[in-house]
Structure 1
Amino acid sequence: MKNKVLATLLLSLLVVPLAQSADRAPRLVVGITVDQLRTDYLEALQNLFGEKGFKRLMKEGVVCENLVFDYPNVDKASATATLYTGTMPFFHGIPSERFFNTTFQREELILNDPSKIGNYTQETFSPERLKTSTISDEVKIVSGGLGRVYSVAPDAQQSILSAGHAGNCAFWINDRNGKWATTTYYRDVPAYIEQFNYVRSLSVRIDTLAWTPVYTPDLYTAIPYLTNDFSFKRTFSHDNRDRFVQFKTTALVNQEITDVAVEFLDKGLLGRRGVLDMLNVGYTAGVYLNKTVQEYGLELQDAYVRLDRDIARLLDEIDKTVGFDHTVVFLASTGYFKGEAKESPIYNIPSGEFYPKRAVALLNVYLMALYGQGDWVIGYQNRQIFLNRKLIKERDLDADEMRNKAASFLIQMAGVQDVYTSQRLLLSHGTDRLASMRNGYCPKLSGDLVLDLCPGWEVVYEDNNDTREYVRINAIPAPCFILAPDVKPVRIATPVRATAIAPTVSRLLRIRSPNGSSESPLSEIQY
Structure 2
Amino acid sequence: MKTLFKLLIILALTALCARPVSAQPERPKLVVGIVIDQMRWDYLMRYQNRYCEGGFKRLMREGFSCDNCMINYIPTVTAAGHASVYTGTFPSVHGIVGNSFRIGYKWVGCVEDTTVIGVGTTGKQGKVSPRNMMTTTFADELRLATNFRSKTIGVSIKDRGAILPAGHTANGAYWYDNETGNFISSTFYTDKLPDWVNKFNERKLADKYLSQKWEPLYPIETYTQSTADDAPYEGTYVKGQPTVFPIDVPEAKKSWGYGLMKYVPAGATITFDIAKAALEGEQLGKGSECDILTVSISTTDGIGHHVGINAAETEDCYLRLDRDLADFLTTLDKHVGEGNYIVFLTADHGAAHNISFNQDHRIPSQPWDMGKTTRALNKYLQQHYGTDRKLIFGDANCQIILQRDVIEELGIKPEELTQLAIDYLKKDTRFAYVAELEKISTATVPQPVRERAINGYNRLRSGDIATIPQPAIYGDAEQKLVKGTTHGVWNPYDAHIPCLFMGWHIPKGKSSREVHMTDIAPTICNLLSIQMPNGCTGQPIEFR
TM-score range normalised by the length of the shorter chain: 0.7 to 0.9
What do the CA deviations read for 1:333-388 (whole angstroms, capped 9, x no partner)?
A: 22311563434656554444544344333323332344331221121222221211
Q: Could you tell me which of 439, 459, 472 is aligned with 2:455?
A: 439
Instruction: Give the match for residue 190 of structure 2.
Output: 187
SS in 1 for 2:492: coil
Tell me how many residue pairs correspond in the alignment: 505
Q: Is 1:200 matched with 2:203?
A: yes
Matches of 2:352 and 2:306 in 1, distance apart? Answer: 8
Matches of 2:395 and 2:345 in 1, distance apart? Answer: 34
Instruction: Give the match for residue 380 of structure 2.
Output: 366
Aligned AA for 1:375? K
Q: CA deviation at 1:290?
A: 2.1
Matches of 2:361 and 2:290 in 1, distance apart? Answer: 56
* Percent identity of equivalent pairs: 28
- Matched-pair contact (CA < 8 Å) for 1:457–1:470: no
What do the CA deviations read for 1:404-438 (whole angstroms, capped 9, x no partner)?
A: 22111221134222212132136769722211111
Segments of 5+ residues of structure 2 without an aligned counterpart are 1-11, 232-243
Q: Is 1:410 matched with 2:425?
A: yes
Describe the shift of the 1:263–1:75 C-alpha distance in structure 2 as closer, same or farther (beyond 3 A).
same
SS in 2 for 1:113: coil
Describe the shift of the 1:241–1:136 C-alpha distance in structure 2 as closer, same or farther (beyond 3 A).
farther
Instruction: Give the match for residue 31 of structure 1.
Output: 33
Describe the shift of the 1:130–1:355 C-alpha distance in structure 2 as closer, same or farther (beyond 3 A).
same
What do the CA deviations read for 1:148-205 (whole angstroms, capped 9, x no partner)?
A: 11011111111111111111111111122211021211127321112222x2134543
Describe the shift of the 1:100–1:338 C-alpha distance in structure 2 as closer, same or farther (beyond 3 A).
farther
Q: Once superposed, what is the RMSD of the aligned Cα atoms?
A: 3.0
Instruction: Give the match for residue 43 of structure 2.
Output: 41
Describe the shift of the 1:238–1:56 C-alpha distance in structure 2 as closer, same or farther (beyond 3 A).
closer
Describe the shift of the 1:470–1:201 C-alpha distance in structure 2 as closer, same or farther (beyond 3 A).
closer
SS in 2 for 1:455: coil
Q: Is 1:489 matched with 2:508?
A: yes
- Matched-pair contact (CA < 8 Å) for 1:97–1:109: yes
Instruction: Give the match for residue 110 of structure 1.
Output: 110
Describe the shift of the 1:37–1:413 C-alpha distance in structure 2 as closer, same or farther (beyond 3 A).
closer
**Which stretch of the first structure deviates more once superposed, 35-44 or 153-162?**
35-44
- Matched-pair contact (CA < 8 Å) for 1:147–1:276: yes
Matches of 1:155 and 1:94 in 2, distance apart? Answer: 15
Segments of 5+ residues of structure 1 without an aligned counterpart are 1-6
SS in 2 for 1:150: strand
Instruction: Give the match for residue 524 of structure 1.
Output: 543
Instruction: Give the match for residue 4 of structure 2.
Output: none
Instruction: Give the match for residue 492 of structure 2.
Output: 475
Aligned AA for 1:415? R
- Matched-pair contact (CA < 8 Å) for 2:522–2:538: yes
What do the CA deviations read for 1:92-130 (whole angstroms, capped 9, x no partner)?
A: 1112112246534xx542221212211223222111111
Describe the shift of the 1:279–1:350 C-alpha distance in structure 2 as closer, same or farther (beyond 3 A).
closer
- Matched-pair contact (CA < 8 Å) for 1:67–1:335: no
Q: Could you tell me which of 121, 129, 134 is aligned with 1:131?
A: 134
SS in 1 for 2:356: coil
Instruction: Give the match for residue 235 of structure 2.
Output: none
- Matched-pair contact (CA < 8 Å) for 1:254–1:310: yes
- Matched-pair contact (CA < 8 Å) for 2:69–2:514: yes
Aligned AA for 1:516? G
- Matched-pair contact (CA < 8 Å) for 1:58–1:481: yes
Q: Could you tell me which of 415, 424, 430 is aligned with 2:439?
A: 424
Matches of 1:63 and 1:215 in 2, distance apart? Answer: 28
SS in 2 for 1:210: coil
Matches of 1:350 and 1:50 in 2, distance apart? Answer: 36
Matches of 1:445 and 1:359 in 2, distance apart? Answer: 21
